[in-house]
Amino acid sequence: MAVYQVVTIGDQILRDKAKTVTKFDDRIIKLLDNMKDTMELEEGVGLAAPQIGISKRVIIAFKEDEDKVIEIINPEIIEASGEELGDEGCLSVPGQVGKVKRYTDVLVKGKDARGNDVEYRASGMFARILQHEIDHLEGVLFVDKIVKEEIKE
């Protein structure tokens, strides 16, 4: 177990497309442990492996209704519907928040640490976290998607 320094915006690894995981071994278990420790210390609600400098398709996310952190390896959005604007931030972009448009409901499938199929039907905050983390695997940051608010006079 170890806490990693979170990579911040400007580092190329956050812009690279992360690699698909093909081997489900102890290294993945260890990576997930390290990601969970890091996210807990930083008080985040989601984390993608590139954020600790590992360019692999691995994400973790806080699932509020079960009060636990779930992991998905090689996650893919296979269904999506609705859209809503909501505030986001990111451990890799310290001090910045902004409104981003996301699907309200998504179905995400992938693998667990042992290579078994998993799927999560997500809505609201959990759906938002999953979309944000999956974006990280494509080298996309929430700041790329911020919707400018109308200026009220």
* Tokens (6 digits) for 54: 């590992």
Return all residues near 92 (Cβ < 8 A) that are at least 6 apart. 6, 7, 8, 9, 14, 51, 136, 141
Tell the smallest beta-carbon distance from residue 51 to Co ion (Å): 6
- Pick one of 90, 108, 113, 122: the residue that binds Co ion (CB under 5 A): 90
Q: Which is nearer to Co ion, 90 or 108 (CB)?
A: 90
d(Cα 108, Cα 61) in Å, to the nearest integer?
A: 12
Selected range binding Co ion among 70-78, 83-91, 109-117, 120-128, rule: CB under 5 A: 83-91
Locus of tokens 């998993």: 118
- The residue whose Cβ lies closest to Co ion is 90
Q: Which is nearer to Co ion, 86 or 115 (CB)?
A: 86
Q: Which residues bind Co ion (CB under 5 A)?
A: 90
